[in-house]
Amino acid sequence: MIENRVVLITGSASGMGRDTAFAMAAAGAKVVINDINEEKVVQTVEELKAQGYEALGVVANICDRASVEDMVGTVTSEFSGIDILVNNAGMERAGPIRNLSEEDWDITINVNLKGAFLCTKAVHSQMVKKGFGRIINIASRAWLGGSGQAPYSSAKAGMVGLTRSIALELGKYGVTSNCIAPGLIHTPMWDELEEKTRKYLLSKQPTGKLGETRDIANAVCFLATEESSFITGQVLYVCGGRSLCAS
Amino acid sequence: MSGFDQKIVLIVGEPDEVAIATGRKLAGAGTVITLCGDNGHSQLEAASASIRLYGNDTGWMHSELSGAEDARNVVGQMTEKYGRLDIVVVNLAAEARMQSRNSVGLDQTPYGSVSYAMHLIEAALPVLRANGQGRIVVIGSIDYLGAPEHAGLSSAYASLFGLTRSLALQIACDGVTVNTVVKGDIEDPAMVEEEKAKVLQSIPVKRLGQAEDVANAIGYFAADAARYVTGQTLFVCGGRSMHYSMSI
Ligand SMILES: NC(=O)c1ccc[n+]([C@@H]2O[C@H](COP(=O)([O-])OP(=O)(O)OC[C@H]3O[C@@H](n4cnc5c(N)ncnc54)[C@H](O)[C@@H]3O)[C@@H](O)[C@H]2O)c1
């Protein structure tokens, strides 16, 4: 169970991170909302508290080591320490490689991969000390590769390597590390896509449907409990079977 | 776990610790369990009785676990008794292991178990589809990634792997999911200390698994919560799969 566990979810003022925060709070966890978007952090925390949940907001850029260390310090002093880390913050710069700039590459790698590394580095020692910890990385099915997705796919593939290395390193201390690889999920970004693109993407879905943010939240909740203590270093695809077929 | 209330569950194959732990987990969540195996009546009754302590009435049926007709008969008995079937757990990997325990050669390959798994799923599919939200969970073994002196066994398991993926694609639109939970090294009282120490070397979490570990993962895939997860293989192995290629 995750009752009374402290969970830090990066990039959780929006999308699936936000939904995961509500799901975990409903299951009794104390949730920490982190994001770079201050307004949304405040709003999310207010909504959580209005529902009677215990929540804390921390505005921090996960690509910056000092900010991450400060964030972890704040959470540790406010709550008893961090039991579960969900590396969820992410973004994508897409396009054919000829159009991609060095900056596109750097920012995509920094937010998705370096951010996950910095957060993991900052929280893992307290998990090791406690003999319990869960590190759950939100990668993407796109780590398998995607045309026009060189930086994003590389960053997400990097997260898979990070997940597995941490799993091998910390397994003996009761800390597990797993990846969730979402496929198409219904988020605001989806609604902004052109009708034609949406139709095309849906035609590639074995289920013929999109996933919802709560499908990701459900998977995070499963991997966050003691129930999953013999599962580590794994990639769980939550993608309606999309990882099984050709694009 | 929510959404399990009164769901009808069939657990097919060896009524071993994993099957019992799965039954307990799902019965505790409010489902109605039937065990089906080729074992003696007393063994099936004992396994059912130990599940019954955790929830609703648990039943069992004997089957030869062989052939299409037998599979249709098993599913037929379920629908006759309950009018529906929601969750099928296929534990024929354990059955295969039993069959091949004393064999090293390919001639002993336990394809019988695999073909029964196929017959059973074929028979269950129309019933699951009718609900628009069925669940099939296949229990596999990490041996499919390759294991010396287990060529027969590992090729049989590998075919379950292919089965899950192809079937998942075929029925994804019907709301029926098919996933495999691959079990790693599960604590076995018969294991001697020396053997245990050797096995532990390759397990990152430095402990052997419990049947409950496998049952918990089956519980996740069987739940409404996992409706967007299909065709997947989840290793419940304390991280041992990371040493192998072809495991993600
Ligand atoms: N939406 C999908 O279909 C989909 C599919 C596969 C994977 N993913 C992955 O899932 C995760 C969540 O996706 P989403 O769709 O919910 O995204 P989202 O854009 O709704 O939310 C991501 C949040 O991360 C925050 N963020 C960005 N950079 C940050 C930084 N440097 N520090 C702190 N916070 C930062 C953003 O402000 C935003 O609120 C991402 O890692 C994404 O790559 C999404």
- Is residue A1 within 8 A of residue A78, CB to CB? The reply is no
Give the model confidence (pLDDT) of B189-235 as tens digits: 899 999 999 999 999 999 999 999 999 999 999 999 999 999 999 99
Q: Which of B231, B174, B173 is nearest to A206 (CA)?
A: B173
CB of A57 shorter than 6 A to ligand 1: no
- The class of domain A6-238 in CATH terms is alpha beta
Closest Cβ opposite residue B204 in set A167, A212, A219: A167
**Chain B contacts in chain A segment 147-166 (CB below 8 A):** 160, 164
**Chain segment A1-47, per-residue pLDDT in tens:** 899 999 999 999 999 999 999 999 999 999 999 999 999 999 999 99
| Helix (H), strand (E) counts: chain B | 8, 7
CA nearest neighbour of A242 among A205, A215, A191, A196 = A205
Name the 3-class secondary structure at B6. Answer: coil
Backbone angles phi, psi at B148, to 5 degrees: -55, 145
Buried-exposed string A177-197: b where 16+ CB fall within 10 A, e elsewhere = bbbbbbbbbbbeeeeeeeeee
CA A220 to chain centre: 9
Closest CA to B56 of B29, B87, B88: B29
Residues in chain A, overall count: 247
What ipTM goes with this model? 0.96
CA of A90 to the centre of ligand 1 (A): 4
Residue with the two structure tokens 């799993």: A167
Going by the DSSP 8-state scheme, the letter that residue A184 receives in this structure is: S
Q: Tell me the C-alpha distance between A155 and B84, whole Å.
A: 46
Q: Is B194 helix (H, G, I), strand (E, B) or coil?
A: helix
Instruction: Enumerate long-range contacts of B3-6, CB under 8 Å, 24 or more apart.
Output: B3/B223, B3/B224, B3/B225, B4/B29, B4/B30, B4/B31, B4/B222, B4/B223, B5/B30, B5/B31, B6/B30, B6/B31, B6/B32, B6/B56
pLDDT-based confidence at residue B151 (cuts at 50, 70, 90): confident
> What is the CA(A66)–ligand 1 centre distance, in A?
21
pLDDT tens column, A154-211: 999 999 999 999 999 999 999 999 999 999 999 988 999 999 999 999 999 999 999 9
A112 contacts chain B (CB < 8 A): no
CB contact under 8 A, A228 and B216: yes
Domains of chain B: 8-236 (3.40.50.720)
**What spacing in Å lies between the alpha carbon of B195 and ligand 1's midpoint?**
46
Number of inter-chain CB pairs under 8 A, A vs B: 113
